[in-house]
Chains A and B, each alone.
Chain A
Amino acid sequence: MTGPILETRGLSAGYGKKKAVQGIDLRLAHGETLLVLGHNGAGKTTLMRAIFGLLKPMSGEVFYDGHAITGRIPARNVAEGIAFVPQGHGIFPSLTVRDNLELGGFVDADTAKKKKRIEEIYGMFPILRDRAGQIAGTFSGGQKQMLAIGMALMHGPRVLILDEPSIGLAPNLVGRVMESIAEIKARFDASVIVVEQNIKYSLPIADRVMVLKTGGVIYEGDPAPLNDHARLVELF
């Protein structure tokens, strides 16, 4: 268990012939929260999509628990314990909250396990229980984000990747979402990658930070130095 649970070696990915990220080496240790920071266009989302299998990498490799998973379809990655919450609320807007949660556990055919998991998620986000029959598209931004996280937890992931969970949320809700990420780590024994632009709220939950700029890594290490405003200005 000493090796990383998720690792990329020299990963490059992009769209068409244009590379959005180049030669990225990322390591996520067991039980760790890795915060990936960067401005718009830094390549954060592209990197996560390439790791998860939504985008075919141009070069480099992805390893999960020591096994190469480069370019593997998301269905297999989800089945083996990787969950991804895409940017902008990863939900099915036309379906009910309950349907969304059930679909979140699609890879798990065990209905009893699914029911138990839904109860656990209701315990974390009680509003989802209260509004189980509501059409998810009618939720507020914060509620949608809670549902999206709940869906990702439905199959008991070992690695959870959250792409800008704070985007479009009011500051008080950002705080609540970040708290829930810390709670997830404890409850589900998951390793987490949080992609963010909101440094203030996300830095306190990070064990380690990676900063991307124009497709490359410009900082990797302890979050503490980034509390220093001057250091941040220097990086960005």
Chain B
Amino acid sequence: MDLVIQLLLNGIVNGSHYALLGLGFGLIFATTRIVHFAFGSIFTFGAYVAWFVSGYMGAPIFLGLAAGVVVAMGLGVASYVGLYQPLERRGVSPLIPLIASLGLTIVLENLVGIIFGTGARTIDAETSIHFLGPAFFTSIHVWQVVSFLLVCVLLYLFVNYTRYGKAIMAMTDDPEMARVIGIDTARVSILVFALGSALSAIAALLVTLKDGASTHMGFTAVFMGFVAVIVGGVGSLRGAIAGGFLLGLVESLGLWKISTEWQSSIAFIVLFLMILLRPHGLFSLARR
């Protein structure tokens, strides 16, 4: 029983991380319909920039976070304006931006290695350990959950109560109708690329504090974000949250009966089962 409680706790922490990635990836995907796989490389960039500022230069963690967020937002916006938008204007098939995104992923990942080196990087941060009955958690775990909850509240308020939040809602529902009612869809796309990339940088800093950063960390991030979105239902931010949590809990609780070497396969199994049993996802109709 002690093990189950610990796994459940780990599941909530991992679920918060995956849900945050799902929100970032899903915000971009649902609004623009662009499968932005370079989200993973931008996540890596955010982690390394945060490490450079806080780990290498020794600046406070919040400055590392701010730097990571700013660079990630810049890269996100640049990837839309410099790559996807010109393709959109040419009216190419959705497959072309997908291929372009994979190319951009490789370029950015190599750029991280060239700029920061290819070795693993860690940030020394004071970490306290807490106990909840027989289970333990660290202050970084708390930050992962708290950051996720904070992002959820802010995003909810933004989407439901601001003009541009409603524009995101409209584009998610029907991009052509969004243009018909006078929404500048290019501007909204830039906004969601900036927001989604900022979320990736927040998740990146927290995971770097916990596990350190490596140049290939982006693949797992984008994959988990992608699975969270597919499981939750494309177009639903609530779905991305539910998908992320489901993934985190199943992955963690799976270890109760399955050997740890199978842990990385659990996300694939969840994805396959979801595609087979409920292809539209958990929240396919609920857009918010």
| Residue positions of A touching B, CB distance < 8 A | 52, 54, 73-75, 77-79, 84, 86, 90-95, 99, 102-104, 106-107, 109, 151, 155
A54 / chain B contacts, CB cutoff of 8 Å? 176, 179-180
B93 to chain A, nearest CB (A): 13
What are 14 A-B pairs with beta-carbon distances under 8 A?
A54-B176, A74-B179, A75-B182, A84-B180, A86-B176, A90-B177, A93-B173, A94-B287, A103-B169, A103-B170, A103-B181, A104-B181, A106-B170, A106-B183
Q: Does B211 contact A (CB under 8 A)?
A: no
Residue of B nearest to A102 (CB): B166
Q: Which residues of A contact B4 (CB under 8 A)?
A: none
Asked whether B181 lies within 8 Å of A78 as measured between CB atoms, the reply is yes
Report the Cα distance A90→B185, complex, angstroms: 17
B285 on the A face (CB < 8 A): yes
Docked-complex contact B174 and A78, CB < 8 angstroms: no
Min CB distance B106 to A, Å, is: 32
Which chain B positions have C-beta within 8 A of A74?
179-180, 182
Q: Known: A54-B176, A86-B176, A106-B163. Contact between A95 and B169, CB under 8 A?
A: yes
Interface pair A75/B176, CB less than 8 Å apart: no
Which 6 pairs from chain A and chain B are nearest by CB? A78-B182, A107-B182, A92-B173, A75-B184, A94-B287, A75-B182
Chain B residues with CB under 8 A of A155: 182
Contacting residues, chain B, for A52 (C-beta < 8 A): 180
Q: How far is the CB of A11 from chain B (nearest CB, A)?
A: 19
Q: Which residues of B contact A99 (CB under 8 A)?
A: 166, 169
Partner of B170, one of A78, A92, A109: A92
Q: Are A92 and B184 in contact (CB under 8 A)?
A: no
A95 touches B287 (CB 8 A): yes
Which of A73, A77, A91, A106 is B166 in contact with, Cβ under 8 Å? A106
Complex CA–CA separation, A102 to B167 (angstroms): 11
A103 to B170, CA, bound (A): 8
| Contact code string B173-201 (vs A, CB < 8 Å = 1, else 0) | 11011011111111000000000000000
Across-interface contacts of B286 in A (CB, < 8 A): 94
Bound CA span A178–B186, Å: 35
A93 contacts across to B, CB distance below 8 A? 173-174
Closest Cβ of chain A to B110, distance in Å, is 36
Name B137-152 residues within 8 Å CB distance of A. none
Question: Are the CB atoms of A73 and B173 closer together than 8 Å?
Answer: no
Q: Smallest CB–CB gap between B113 and chain A, Å?
A: 40
Complex Cα distance A110/B50, Å?
41
Contacts of A78 in B (CB 8 A): 180-182
Q: Which residues of B are found within 8 Å of A79, using beta-carbon distances? A: 182
Closest residue to B285 on the A side, CB-wise? A94
Chain B neighbourhood of A107, CB < 8 A: 181-182
Q: Which residues of B contact A75 (CB under 8 A)?
A: 179, 182-185
* A86 vs B178: C-alpha distance when bound (angstroms): 12
Bound form: Cα–Cα A83–B266 in Å: 50
* Distance between B221 CB and nearest chain A CB, rounded to angstroms: 28
Partner of B167, one of A77, A84, A86, A106: A106
Chain B residues contacting A77 (CB-CB under 8 Å) are 182
Q: How far is the CA of A90 from the CA of B174 in the complex (A)?
A: 10
Chain A residues near B287 (CB, 8 Å)? Answer: 94-95
- Which residue of the partner chain A has the closest CB to B235? A94
Q: In whole angstroms, what is the CA distance A91 to B286 when docked?
A: 16
* A222 smallest CB distance to B (angstroms): 31
Q: Please give, as numbers and ranges, the residues of chain A lying within 8 Å of B184 by CB-CB distance.
A: 73, 75
State the Cβ distance, B166 to closest chain A Cβ, in Å. Answer: 6
| Chain B: minimal CB distance from A25 (Å) | 25
Using Cβ atoms and an 8 Å threshold, which residues of chain B touch A94? 173, 235, 285-287
Closest to A53 in B: B179
